[in-house]
Amino acid sequence: MSAGALDPRLREELAAFVHAEAELLDEGRFEDWLELFADDGIYWVPAVPGQEDPLNTISIFYEDKDIMAIRIRRMSHPANLAQSPFPRTSHLLGRIRIEEAEGGVYEVGSRMQVVEYREGDGQRVFAGKCRHTLRREGEALKIVLKRVDLVNCDAPHTFITVPL
């Protein structure tokens, strides 16, 4: 099925899903965010423009659901003094488009800007493009792959705490 032939209600559902995901991150609801991922879901932030291989090239993040769960537990642990105070974020999404739709798997592309603020450290801005590969599992949509291509992926970055 081509993207142009998608039912308008499905287009709306897919766009609402990626907006809801961003809202969970901004609200610090990381366990709920993790539940949006399929059991085989991957979160990937390449470190090289146009990177095609996450396994043989270094990435900023390349995490399966188990690794994401460990990171979330560490972030929220009371002894995590390195992340105190915890940063606040605001995700802004735009130019959402459905790029492909095949057999219940949907490719949703968007542009994003994330502002991260932590008292004492100031503010950082991340910008780039996102690609969500979504699959329907029962009644729910699940993230099979979330890829974030930062505009400055090959620049030095200090620790990125909150998922983009």
Residue range(s) defining the domain that contains residue 58: 3-150
Q: Sheet holding 37-46: strands in order across?
A: 59-64, 37-46, 140-150, 122-137, 105-118, 88-102
Give per-residue pLDDT as tens, 15-30: 999 999 999 999 999 9
User: Average pLDDT of 32-58?
Assistant: 97
In a domain, 130, yes or no: yes
Residue 117 vs residues 34, 127, 135: alpha-carbon distances, Å: 22, 15, 33
In a domain, 155, yes or no: no
Instruction: Look at the chain and report how many structural domains it folds into.
Output: 1
Cα(22)–Cα(130) distance, integer angstroms: 11
Cβ–Cβ under 8 Å, residues 98 and 108: yes
Asked if residue 71 has pLDDT above 80, the reply is yes
User: Average pLDDT of 109-132?
Assistant: 94
Asked if residue 52 has pLDDT above 80, the reply is yes
Where residue 110 sits, what CATH number does that domain have?
Answer: 3.10.450.50
In a domain, 86, yes or no: yes
In a domain, 41, yes or no: yes
In a domain, 161, yes or no: no
From 84, 161, 92, select the one nearest 119 (Cα to Cα): 84
